[in-house]
Amino acid sequence: MAKIRRNEKREMPALNTSSLPDIIFMLLFFFMSVTSMKEVSYKVQFKNPQATELTKLEKKSLVRYIYVGTPTAEFRKQYGAETRIQLDDAFAETKEIGEYIVNERSSMKESEQGLMTVSIKADKDTKMGIIADIKQELRRAYALKISYAATQRTSY
Amino acid sequence: MAKKIPQINASSMADISFLLLIFFLVTTSMDVNQGLARRLPAPIPPDQKVEDKDINKRNLLVVKINSANQLMVQGQLMDVKQLRERAKEFIKNEQNVDYYPKLVEEDFGAPFGVVKYTKDHVISVQNDVDTQYQAYLEVQNELVAAYNELREECAQKYFHKAYNELDEDQQKQIQKIYPQKISEAEPKNYGN
């Protein structure tokens, strides 16, 4: 006859976690392949405008970025809420763009200097005045290949 | 007897890989670098006088955006959604009407033969200092889209292939028929 054992301690079998590292590694590789390193830490905040006729920026080493937007909350006290330009890791004036471009270009390989692209990452609510100033500076610095960073628009 | 190798304790492996995962999640960003590629005109040397290039009025399509993001094409108020069609009509001038750009016949070689095209057309985009960037980009986007659509049509007509499947020479030939001519004036205060 079956004996009902009640008082006997029944231990839970240990969960086999030996495949957990593999799973996590898989996740890790997934994220490593679909994401890209942030170029800089943003000091300005911006929301990309939307467009449809987009092209991908091919070679990372040939691209330089100009960020345009309002300072993030931590910098607002110091710099106000006006639209500002960020080059690399610091706030900059429009006048400094030319020098920045020249410096960046001279640090590139000579064969690639003509292929430099400047990506303007500006907030969608930016006034065109500041963008036009940037464009004039870029023209003066002979950085003629530009790209207006935007996200794909799915519908009107 | 072979010596028994003690098993390595791998229980912390998961923690290590979690740490790596979190590190990558924090330092990377998902956004792909996409953008509307444009080319700026070369700067004018300071010793050179700005020449007023005489552009025939019929060859010019003036697109203005004011500070309230309203669009005016050739003096008419227009919605940005209609701009693409309007630009295509202007660039093609299929009916050969006299208020659209002059058609020029030119031999482009095989497989095009003699093609009539609007050689000297110019689309002039003028914006206000206070125009919103999004509105400006939308206009640029529509104009680039108009060119892209025309080039696509051309590729289908002559090569029976999509434009981006053509080789570089073929693309260059098509670009000659539909050259991108978007001129941008420096922004002025048009007011509103």
pLDDT tens sequence across B8-48: 777 788 888 888 888 888 887 766 678 888 888 888 777 77
pLDDT at A2: 64
Distance CA B17, CA A153 (A): 36
What is the interface pTM, i.e. ipTM, of the complex? 0.75
Yes or no: say if A57 and B35 are a contact pair by the CB < 8 Å rule. Answer: yes
Residue A37 falls inside a structural domain: no
Determine the residue among A148, A151, A152 to mutate to test chain B binding: the one whose Cβ has the most chain B Cβ atoms within 10 Å: A148
Q: How many domains does chain A have?
A: 1
Residue A62 falls inside a structural domain: yes
Structure tokens belonging to residue A79: 């710099």
Among A67, A11, A15, A18, smallest CA distance to A38 is for A67
Of A17, A34, A125, the CB nearest to B132: A125
Residue A81 falls inside a structural domain: yes
Of A17, A128, A136, the CB nearest to B129: A128
Distance CA A108, CA A129 (A): 30
Yes or no: say if A53 and B144 are a contact pair by the CB < 8 Å rule. Answer: yes
Residue A136 falls inside a structural domain: yes
Residue A127 falls inside a structural domain: yes
Q: Can you tell me the mean pLDDT for B170-185?
A: 83
Most distant pair of Cα atoms in chain B: their distance: 101
Confidence of residue B188 (pLDDT cuts 50, 70, 90): low
- Name the β-bridge partners of A67: A86, A121
Domain boundaries, chain B: 57-184
> Structural domain of residue A78, as residue ranges?
44-50+58-152
Asked whether residue B169 carries a pLDDT value surpassing 80, the answer given is yes
